[in-house]
Each structure stands twice: as C-alpha cells, then as structure tokens.
Amino acid sequence: MAFDIEMIKEVYANMTSRVDKAREIVGRPLTLTEKILYTHLWDGNPTKAFTKGVDYVDFAPDRVACQDATAQMALLQFMHAGKKKVAVPTTVHCDHLILAKNGAKSDLALANTQSKEVFDFLSSVSDKYGIGFWKPGSGIIHQIVLENYAFPGGLMIGTDSHTVNAGGLGMLAIGVGGADAVDVMSGMSWELKFPKLIGVKLTGKLSGWTAPKDVILKVADILTVKGGTGAILEYFGEGATSMSCTGKGTICNMGAEIGATTSTFGYDESMRRYLSATGRQDVVDAADNVASYLTADPEVYANPETYFDQVIEINLSELEPHINGPFTPDRGTPVSKMKEEAAANGWPIKVEWGLIGSCTNSSYEDMARAASIVNQAVEMGISPKAEFGINPGSEQIRYTIERDGIIATFEKMGTKVFTNACGPCIGQWDRAGADKQEKNTIVHSFNRNFSKRADGNPNTHAFVTSPEMVAALAISGRLDFNPITDTLITDNGDEVKLTAPYGDELPKKGFAVEDAGFQAPAADGSGVMVAVSETSDRLQLLAPFEAWDGKNITGAKLLIKAFGKCTTDHISMAGPWLRFRGHLDNISNNMLIGAVNAFNQKTNSVKNQLTGEYDAVPAVARAYKAAGIASIVVGDHNYGEGSSREHAAMEPRFLGVKAVLVKSFARIHETNLKKQGMLGLTFVNEADYDKIQEDDTINFTDLVDFAPGKPLTVEFVHADGTKDVILANHTYNEGQIGWFVAGSALNLIAAASNA
C-alpha cells in the first residue's frame, strides 16, 4: 500500500543534486517550497527562469490521489487517453458517496447498495489501469494518504481541494481538477503558475484549550478566503516544531479555505514519530540522510522577510481558541468574544449538533482530545444539550480508538459514530428536520461552512472550531459558552468547570487494524472489462467536446450575472447531486442553481431571452444550446472558490457556455475552465461588471487573434441597441490556447495517443 522506498530514495537523490545546483544559480538560500519545486521540475533543469505569479512551469508529481466523487469523471476521461496503465502511482478512495444518517453499520450497507454501480466501476477501472483502490468504509482520502503515502519533500496532486492535508508530512500536495490528474496519470507534465510564498512564523507553544485548528482559523481570519490565492504557505518556528504531525495536517488542510495553492512544514521530529508509528521507518531513514534539504536553509527562517513575499507571525502562547463563521470559514471570533458577537449579529445561541471528523480533524489525537472532554461530562453527570456525531478518519483510526476505549467514551454520551467517510462535511448528511429550514446553529470541526453545505438548510448557521471545542459547545448546548471561564450545571444541580483537554499524539499501544480496506490492482489489467450501461443514470461515457471553429463568438446570450459569493457549491452542488458525478448530462441539471442572479436576487431564476420568461439556469442553458446559441456567465470576485470539482467547469461547457467573465477566479476553477476548452476571463476594469444588463447579446470581436498576454475585446449589446465595449484579461499561454483550439486538453492527449 505504501510508496516504493526506492522511488523515495530517487526523489531524495534528485533533490540533493538539483537543490545544490539551484542554490548556485539563484545565489541565495532557498525556502523549503523552492527546494521541492526545483526537485520536481519536469525537465530537471534548475536553470529554469521562474517569474513568480506569471510564468507557468512544468512539474513531475510523484503521485495522484482521487476521491470517488471526482474520480468518476477523471477516470472516464482517462479511458479516452489511450493508455494501458497509469504512469505514476495513483489511488482511488471511496469516501464521498456514503450518507450519514443512522450510524456506520447501516449507513455503509446502504451506500454499498445504492452506489454499487459506481463502486464497481471505480474498482474495475482501477484494476484495469494499475490504480490502488480503497473500498467504501476504508476512510477519508486525506487521512489515508497521510497514513500511507505522504512523505517529506514529495510533490503530489489530488482531485480534491484538501489534498493539501499532506503538507503536514512535509509534502507539497496540491488540489487539481480531474483533467490535470489525467495529464499526470498519462505520463505528461503538470503545469502550475509559479506561486508567491507566504511565510508563517509560529512562536510560543499551544496550551490549554488552544489547538492546531486555531492556528489556521486565525490565519483564515487574517488572510480571508482569497488572501492565499496564488500562494504557498510555509510554516516555521518553534511553534511549528512543537506541534504534532496530524496537527500540522489540520493546518495545511484548511489552507484550501484561504485559496492557497498548498501549505507545508519542514521535516522535524513530529514527522519522524508519525512515520515510524505508521510503519514507515524506512522513510525516516531515507529522509534523515537528506534532512537539511527537507526544510528551508537556516538563513531563510532567520530573516524571513528577505525570502518570502509576505510574513505572518502568530504567538501560539497568546492564541485563543477560535470559532469561525457562520457561512464562511474566514470570519474568526475568539471564544472570549463570542458572547457579544453572537448577540450583536443575532446568531442562534442554542447549539443543535456537534460534529467531529472530516479530513480536517479525524486523527487519533483529535479523537482522544475530544473524548477527554466527553469523559469529564460523563463522570461529572452532565447530560449533553446537543446531539453529537463523529466520523473517524480511517478504518485504522476507528479500529485503534475502539481498542483504546475512545469510542466507548463517546457512546456513553449518546454519540452517533458515522462511517469512516466524509459524511456531513460534504453534504452527505440525512439530518432529521433539515427540510423545515428552521434557523439553527451547529458546530463542527470540518473545513467549510458555506450556506446549505452540511444539511441543505440555508438557515443552518455552521461554525468551525476544534474537536475539543466542538465537544464543549455540544455539551453546554450554547454557542457563547467559554470553557476557559464558564461553568456547567450537572444533572444533580452542581456547578462544575471543565478542565483543559488532553489526548495522546499517537496511540501508546501503536496503531492496529484488521482490514484496512485496500485492493491492489491486477498485475496485468488488459483482460479486465469496464462496463458502463447505456441506460445508467449514474455513469455515462464521455464524448469529446467540439473543437473551436476558428471564428469569433457572436450572438451569445448572457446566461447569468452571478452576484456575490459563487463557490463551486453554488455552481455544482454536492449533497444529493453526488450520485450523478459520473453522468455529465444528469449532473448538468444542477449547474449554477445556487448562484444568485444579480438582476432579481433569486437563485435558479434567470431570464430566457428567447421567450422572455424566467426559468431554471440549466433549463435556459439547454434552450440556448438547442437553438445553437452560445452563452456566457458573468461573476464576481473569487469565482469558483472551494472544491476542486471540475464538474463546475464541465457542466457549463456541456450546456453551451463558451466563456466565464469575472472579477477574479479561484485558482483551481480557472485551470479547470481552461482544461475543458472554455474561456476564463477577468475584467480589465472591474467596474465593467455593472455595465452588463440582463438582455445583453455578446460578441467577441477579436477572438481570432487570441494570443498570450493580449486582452480580448467583448461587446455587450443591450436591448435598446446601445452597447458597451470592454476589455477582458486572460492568463492563457500558448499551450493553454492549444487546449481551447482543440476543444479541451483531453482532446490533445487522445490525439497524441492515437497518432
């Protein structure tokens, strides 16, 4: 299941030679981020000229990881690539298509019945093409990667935005769309715009109720959901080395919430402990031989302002526990300020549910620290005021915490133990009463808390905090409860106070598991058959998108002018729609149904210019497509924030949208649009957003001259015959323009394979 140690040694051999050469060329000390990037240059040539934030650079990742919801479309695309086997180690993890409702046993059984067709498809494709397959119930992709595959100094990509979790083990792990993954699985390079570097200096040490989660909640509060866009965060300092490896993973995980390309930490003793505890002493031995290469040069951390584009400093000794939200993960509130903030904003004080788990906080240490709070409540005779649920991160975690009595502790408080899967974190939660859409508050240790994300209720105020704080708030039943200062009343009427949480970083008896849930691929997959039924509503073989006809786009209609936040959840919702992730036609019926129309402030209600009537966004898009009319989408800042799901790009492409014009993009979504042969454009003048009217017809007047660095001219012809002519920027290089011309990046791969 783990990486081939010989491959890791080869990476380290490349690292020593390439980093030494790079140091000579740039004539200065290097950050850890730079060392890893130089090591993984596609052409192996450290003389490559990097221009931060501008140039696209080709890299050679060490591995690819896919979760089941995104793997379907990625593997459907890979089947068209004409390859017999993946070119780099790749795994598929079944963690998204499992509903949380009654508890692990019945929920997993139901998922294995309802999604059998999809799981069988993923299993057979994996078997055929040399991909490791992790069965439903084995665990959450990022926890499994941390336990089995991540290693210091490596570069990996994954079809989930929280691939960045592996930065806790000193990797550069980056979330991408499925088309990017297909490139790498096909043996091609992977391209990335060279990032800015943000250094985060951590001084002091965590203590009491403060947890690693609070570090990233504070960083999110500082940088906001778009402050990390185009940047890699590198954490360092005494505070960094004092934290556990899984704590570091939590911090890196939520770097996705600030738009960061990824985050990482230098190799240290906590990583040695974790690698050894998870059966990878051979990796420790190899890493120790190149330890100085697996962290920044000493001069960098001594004078960070000289080497990073931005430096943030946080004193962990002074850091308070944070509770971020609602509706956005970057609205931070220290626990001491929550009482006044909640009152001032009218947030529901009563906590209805407390949820622990997801890829963000489902480690042994997380579960142990939360259980220590639960155990106090049980021993003192305090009945919890809120319902409580946990999702262990992997079968190995679940088995070990069951052995060590941690699950039993949770169950004494009536905790519902869900499957080792994503569950409520990604909308896979059948929450009783959610359909009533009542205003309420939940607290969880997940990473995202966008409106409707967890339970589909737009009035659920979801707050993000640490596992131990989730436990305390769920027990008290109050959002404004401060366990540092406040007391609770026992069932006997006694006034008591919780003490600070405690939990072992690693299990004293070691990790244990009977069946981790891994299926190795066939040695020769040529005889494996992959069947997709033509009548299936879950899976659909892909047809290539049409190539560009070489002409200007004229007579296009405005489909929607999206107002405000428009995340991938708004563009292609998760929850019940996850079941259609392998069927492009069916899932396209959710395209942009969560986006707010700027002209009527409604969701899923846009004007059909052919009829003058208002209808659902997908219905109007299909009407334009049937009439042979192109359409475009207009959006606000940070458009496409959130998940890596390429469905948010493939659905508009499938329904005839030719361009997406916005004030700014989230990184992954912009790349996904490019890969699918669409135009991802930004306003040269953001104020032009206000000029766009509901009945506009759009003409691209100089698309025939599409070239790198040259803005496009776009006419917006209004219903009264007047028009506004605006300029739109783009970041396409020659290769990416080639994707547009061919109709998609996949079309080019398939053409090369068939040549």
Catalytic residue check, 160:
yes
Length of the chain: 755
User: H or E element: which one contains 460?
Assistant: strand 460-464
CA–CA distance from 647 to each of 96, 528, 570, 618, 655 (Å)? 15, 27, 12, 14, 12
E strand intervals along 530-629:
556-561, 606-607, 614-615
Single-letter code of the amino acid located at 525:
G
User: Distance (Å, rounded) from C-alpha 630 to C-alpha 250?
Assistant: 43
Closest CA to 121 of 80, 68, 160, 81: 68
Q: Which of 146, 141, 144, 137 is nearest to 100 (CA)?
A: 137
| Cis peptide bond upstream of 424, omega within 30 | no
95 catalytically annotated: yes
Beta-carbon contacts of residue 526 (< 8 Å; ≥ 6 apart): 84, 128
User: Given 161, 244, 363, 643, which residue is catalytic?
Assistant: 643
CA 136 to chain centre: 20
User: Hey, which bits of 105-153 come out as E strands?
Assistant: 132-134
User: How many CA atoms lie less than 13 Å away from 575 in the CB half-sphere?
Assistant: 20
Catalytic residue, from 280, 448, 570, 579: name it: 448
The Cα–Cα gap between 329 and 116 comes to: 34
| CA of residue 118 relative to chain centroid, distance | 22
Cα–Cα distance measured from residue 656 to residue 624, given in angstroms and rounded to the nearest whole number? 8
Task: Choose among 164, 506, 217: nearest CA to 359.
Answer: 164
DSSP letter, residue 131: -
Q: What tokens appear for 301 in the block?
A: 């951390």
Strands 712-717 and 697-700: antiparallel
Asked if 11 contacts 35 with a C-beta cutoff of 8 angstroms, the reply is no
CA distance 557 to 657: 9
Burial label, 205 (beta-carbon count in 10 A; 0-12, 13-18, 19+): middle
- Which stretches does DSSP call E strand in 282-374? 310-315, 322-324, 332-334, 351-356
Mark whether 643 is an active-site residue: yes
Which residue among 162, 331, 645, 653 is the active-site one? 645
For the beta carbon of residue 729, count every other beta carbon within 10 angstroms.
Answer: 14
Amino acid at 140: I
Dihedral over Cα of 76, 79, 85, 88: its sign: negative
Residue entry with tokens 């002493």: 281
Out of 40, 96, 637, 647, the active site residue is: 96
Question: What is the side-by-side strand order in the sheet with 310-315?
Answer: 262-265, 231-236, 196-203, 310-315
Catalytic-role residue among 68, 127, 160, 636: 160
Residue 402: Cβ-neighbour burial (10 angstroms; 0-12, 13-18, 19+): middle
Structure-block tokens of residue 678: 């669409």
| Residues facing residue 312 across a β-bridge | 200
Structure tokens at 435: 């359909």
Rounded CA-CA distance 583/115 in Å is 13
| 276 noted as active-site residue | no
Any residues with CB less than 8 A from the CB of 406 and at least 6 apart, and which? 367, 368, 371
Q: What is the per-residue DSSP string for 514-526?
A: S---EEPPPS-GG
Which position among 40, 63, 68, 95 bears the catalytic label?
A: 95
Indicate if 579 belongs to the active site: no
- List, by residue number, the catalytic residues: 95-96, 160, 448, 643, 645
